[in-house]
Amino acid sequence: MEFHSFDRAYVERLRAGDYRTREHFRVYFAALIHVKLRSRLRSREDIEDVRQETFARFYIALREDKVCHPERLGSFVNSICNNVLREHYRQAGKHVLADDEMQDEPPSPLPDPLTTYSSRETQDKVRKVLDLLPERDRRLLREILLEERDKDEVCRDFGIDREYLRVLLHRAKKLFRSLYLRHNDAPEFTPV
Amino acid sequence: MDHNTVASQKMAERYLLNELEPELRDEFEEHYFDCPECAADVHAGAVFVDESKFILGAEKNQPDVVPATDALATRAAPLARAGWMAWLRPSLAAPVFILLLLVIGYQSWHYRALKKTVSTPQVLASAVVNVNVRGSEPIAVSVPFGKAFGLTLNLPPDRSFSSYKLDLYSMQGQLEWSQTAAATGSDSLWLYVPASDRAPSILLVYGITAQGVSEDLGRYPIKLQNSRQ
């Protein structure tokens, strides 16, 4: 995917309807919005609704020339998403959750739409990273990510601390990225 | 929040592990929406976490599964010894032929049903879209999910476009269909949206001048309201 920078020219191309710019915008922010929402909303449909509404409002703001700081386009999209999310909670009949309650919202139980963006190749690379891990670390990831056990409890059982968990995830993620970039000159998600 | 803080405090990992306090989480999100490096890192991490859940979950359901590379080697060996003729063994050939027959049967049935649908007059649900209205309400169409429907696009009468471009995006944000229609002097276009198992989510309309300049004429979210048919 072609390199873009969020600047006045990018915004103008968006406004003019340039197809490649719009595709970049859609792919880039669809992925980020999904990462943001997956820990807050229960269903895939709700995530899609909020994402769709965020994009719709952005394009309205774009048409009305309300994008004042192109270099902070990401923050603008994020703030729109936050507003849509708050309204979503109200419209769904839920009380506005306090922040600590939002923290406790379980992640979406449905198959993750991020897999929409991934491919068999991506799965193979993740599998490769997991195969390289010692069995103990695989079990640790299984307990935390799949079983979703309490992290402090898991750390006690495994005789580790939270920092070990973070370092494990950091290394695995780094290896995954390096495996992916080694074999792809245009990853499915390209930063600006 | 600056990038150095994010890196030194392993914000991405803490975010992916749901360890951040809400205020810090919101701050980090505001950061990575603007920081390409952190955005790529968070996204890669999220993909890794989600795929790992899938892979580890599959392994959990098959406790005797050997690591993928070993399994491939184990399965490949007998086939390699038997050669390509191994595919004609009854244990393999019979289920494959049955599957092929089922596929052929389904496709024949589906073709007959499709042919009947397109050759039989039908009354379609429809809705009207006033294209010259900015920021209009979502298009509400009362139609059973998975059924076809029509859209009448009332074009702006006072604009001189040589053609119109229509983009239809799915719920998944993917471009499902795109078409350019020449302006014929009529004040409306009629769009037939065929039956699909994925409801379209948004229609984008552009006017294109004779000089090739494209003008955005609006975004029209489509909401299907299931009728009692």
Say yes or no to pLDDT of B84 above 80. Answer: no
Same domain, B88 and B172: no
Taking a contact as any Cβ pair under 8 Å apart, which residues of chain A between 140 and 159 contact chain B?
Answer: 141-142, 144-146, 151
Q: Of A164-168, B105-109, B196-200, where does mean pLDDT reach its minimum?
A: B196-200
Chain A interface test: which of B43, B165, B167, B178 (most A C-beta within 10 Å): B43
Nearest to A89 by CA among A101, A77, A74: A101
For residues B187 and B22, the model is more confident at: B22
How many Å lie between the alpha carbon of B120 and the closest alpha carbon of chain A?
Answer: 34
Return d(Cα B12, Cα B5) in angstroms, integer: 11
Same domain, B112 and B142: no
Say yes or no to pLDDT of B36 above 80. Answer: yes
Closest CB to B56: pick one of A31, A82, A146: A146
Q: Does A80 touch chain B (CB under 8 A)?
A: no
- Is the complex ipTM more than 0.85? no
Same domain, B167 and B149: yes
Angstrom distances, CA of residue A70 to CA of A5, A8, A12: 9, 5, 9
Residue B65's pLDDT is: 47
Q: Does B85 touch chain A (CB under 8 A)?
A: no
For residues B201 and B176, the model is more confident at: B176
SS3 B174: coil
Provide, rounded to the nearest whole percent, the portion of chain B with pLDDT above 70.
71
pLDDT in tens, A133-165: 999 999 999 999 988 899 999 999 999 999 999
Nearest to B199 by CA among B169, B228, B163: B169
Query: Which residue type occupies A110?
Result: L
Chain B interface test: which of A28, A45, A126 (most B C-beta within 10 Å): A126
Number of domains in chain B: 3
Number of Cβ atoms within 10 Å of the Cβ of A142:
20
Residue written as tokens 């979406």? A108
What is the bridge-based pairing of β-strands B149-154 and B125-130? parallel
CATH of the domain at B148: 2.60.40.10
Same domain, B132 and B210: yes
Where do the DSSP E strands lie in B90-174? 125-130, 139-142, 149-154, 163-170
Angstrom distances, CA of residue B155 to CA of B54, B132, B184, B188: 48, 6, 11, 5
Same domain, B85 and B170: no
Angle, in degrees to the nearest 10, between helices B22-34 and A73-91: 140
| Cβ atoms of residues B12 and B45 within 8 Å | yes
pLDDT in tens, A73-122: 999 999 999 999 999 988 877 544 454 444 444 444 444 444 444 577 88
Residues of A whose CB is below 8 A from B13: 165-167, 169-170, 173
Q: Which residue is closest to B58 within chain A, CA to CA?
A: A146
Q: Of A19-33, B160-174, B197-211, B215-229, where does mean pLDDT reach its minimum?
A: B215-229
Taking a contact as any Cβ pair under 8 Å apart, which residues of chain A between 95 and 134 contact chain B?
Answer: 99-100, 102-103, 107, 112-118, 122-123, 126-127, 129-131
Same domain, B130 and B200: yes
Same domain, B89 and B153: no
Same domain, B151 and B103: no
Same domain, B110 and B138: no
Domain with B114 in it: 69-119
Which of B61, B81, B102 terminates a domain? The answer is B61
Chain B interface test: which of A4, A23, A32 (most B C-beta within 10 Å): A32
The arithmetic mean of pLDDT across residues B135-161, rounded, is 73
Do B22 and A51 count as a contact with CB atoms less than 8 A apart?
no
How many Å lie between the alpha carbon of A35 and the closest alpha carbon of chain B?
Answer: 7
The arithmetic mean of pLDDT across residues B75-100, rounded, is 62
Residue A72's pLDDT is: 94
Q: Of A162-171, B30-39, B51-60, B82-91, where does mean pLDDT reach its minimum?
A: B82-91
Return d(Cα A49, Cα B10) in angstroms, integer: 31
Residue written as tokens 């992640």? A107
Return d(Cα B137, Cα B199) in angstroms, integer: 18
Q: Of A158-172, B36-50, B131-145, where does mean pLDDT reach its minimum?
A: B131-145
Residue B155's pLDDT is: 82
How many Å lie between the alpha carbon of A111 and the closest alpha carbon of chain B?
Answer: 9
Return d(Cα A71, Cα A6) in angstroms, integer: 5
How many Å lie between the alpha carbon of A64 and the closest alpha carbon of chain B?
Answer: 10
Return d(Cα B96, Cα B115) in angstroms, integer: 28
Chain mean pLDDT for chain A:
82
pTM of the model: 0.55
Q: Does A38 touch chain B (CB under 8 A)?
A: yes
Do A102 and B22 count as a contact with CB atoms less than 8 A apart?
yes
Q: Which residue is closest to A103 within chain B, CA to CA?
A: B22
Q: How many helices (H) and strands (E) does chain A have?
A: 10, 0
Say yes or no to pLDDT of B157 above 80. Answer: no
Residue A104's pLDDT is: 43
Q: Of A18-22, B78-82, B107-111, where does mean pLDDT reach its minimum?
A: B78-82
